[in-house]
Amino acid sequence: MKKSLIASIVGGIIIFFWQFLSNAALDLHRPASQYTPQQDSIMAFLSTHLKEGKYFLPNTPDNASNEEKQKLMEASGGKPWAIIDYKEKMNTDMGMNLIRGLLTDIIMIWLLCWILLKGNFDSFSAIMSISIAVGFISFLYFPYANFVWYESPGIYADLLDSVAGWALCGIWLGFYLRRKKTSITESVAS
């Protein structure tokens, strides 16, 4: 238990540090949050027309018939569309977000350690491979599946995060969690 707790805390910090590099220091996710010089007038317009929520435009009302939905889909083909994630108040206090992010990373790595230890993965290469596979699975599950439908910008940064962050963590876990192989003569003698 102590070994997996230490592995999880250090691994979570490694993932957290990679997320900081990717999102802040290297600014790899800029395509997912571009700037427009019209932001003030757009925000003023949105604040008078929307309540907090996520919007897909164009769309039909909740009670629209299948025929109405189909008609809108056909009429919208080849035309502009948007996703608006509108919040009424920006929270600029990063303290709680940082704590929640770090705790989430530690829990993720604890779950990975549980898989690695229960699965008896005891070599550096096996631990590293499983760590990268988990990162790649996490990429396929949300960022890529979301990209398929909504063409979300920043997909390459998401892929890099999933592979690089989990590979760095896999290096740590590979060194820390691997078990030393004993030779046949040592195991017979004991």
- Residues 6+ away with beta carbon under 8 Å from 152: 32, 143, 146
Mean pLDDT of the chain: 91
Give per-residue pLDDT as tens, 103-152: 999 999 999 999 999 998 989 999 999 999 999 999 999 999 999 998 88
CB 127 within 8 A of CB 167: no
Written as six digits, the tokens of 50 are: 């929307």
With respect to residue 49, please indicate whether it lies within any of the assigned structural domains. no
Is 165 among the domain residues? yes
Is there a domain that residue 130 lies in?
Answer: yes
The pLDDT score that the predictor gives to residue 190 is: 40
Report the alpha-carbon distance of residue 30 to residue 157 in Å, rounded: 9
Domain count, the chain: 1
78 belongs to a structural domain = no
Residue 155 counted as domain residue? yes
Q: Which of 130, 140, 139 is nearest to 109 (CA)?
A: 130
Does 182 fall in a domain?
Answer: yes
Residue 125 within a domain: yes
How far apart CA 128 and CA 121 sit, in angstroms, is 10
Check residue 168 and give its pLDDT.
97
In a domain, 175, yes or no: yes
179 pLDDT exceeds 80? no
Task: Give the structural domain span for 166.
Answer: 2-33+94-189
Task: Spell out the alpha helix ranges (H) of 21-165.
Answer: 39-49, 66-76, 94-118, 124-139, 145-150, 155-160
Q: Is the pLDDT of residue 185 over 60?
A: no
